[in-house]
Amino acid sequence: MNNFSTSKFPSDMQQSVCLQCGYNMIGGLPEVCPFCGARHDQFMAWDEVEKTYHVTTYAVNEVVSQLLSVPKLGLEHAAYRIETKEGAVWIDSPSAFNRNLAPVNAILFTHHHFMGASNQYRRLWNAEVWLQLCREYCRLAGSIRASYSKALRPNLIRLLDSGC
């Protein structure tokens, strides 16, 4: 499993969000979004995104909540908060940043292209950020699945199983 240290992303580093797809770009803006191809004028600075879009939690059941931006930000991908015995974790991260959300211990990513606003969340909460690259992620996913398999929706279980 690959853990990304908060020290790799200085707090003064520019970050922008593509309004078409929700991709978060760190550093200078490209001519086109590397994910969807939108022009650079379709990017908004993340602090402006925070003022415009609000991440809202919607309970799926007693241990799982879905995180969505209101209004919808680009191609909003699924991000979930799961309450575990070891503490709360996220599966993926919303594209927008909302400093009023309840903190989590870790953010687990299923794909490297959509790490969302995780840079801001890990700085705020000192959360660990993990990218699915090896069997350790699968061990954690298995632990979550074993504890909450009756509560989790089938598509979330498939999400955890992908790549294992």
Contacts of 142 (CB under 8 A, 6+ apart): none
Q: The domain containing residue 152 runs over which residues?
A: 54-161
Q: Is residue 128 part of a domain?
A: yes
Contacts of 150 (CB under 8 A, 6+ apart): none
Average pLDDT rounded to a whole number, residues 134-157: 50
Sheet with 24-26: list strands edge to edge: 24-26, 15-18, 43-45
Mean of all residue pLDDT scores within the chain: 76
Q: Is residue 9 part of a domain?
A: no
Q: Is residue 3 part of a domain?
A: no
Q: Is residue 113 part of a domain?
A: yes
* Whole-prediction pTM: 0.69
Q: Is residue 31 part of a domain?
A: no
Looking at the structure of the chain, the number of domains it has is: 1
- Beta-bridge partner residues of 79: 67
User: Using alpha carbons only, how large is the chain's radius of gyration in Å?
Assistant: 15
The answer to whether residues 68 and 78 touch, using CB atoms and an 8 Å cutoff, is no
Q: Is residue 26 part of a domain?
A: no
Question: Each residue of 10-46: pLDDT tens digit?
Answer: 556 788 889 998 888 888 888 899 888 999 899 998 8
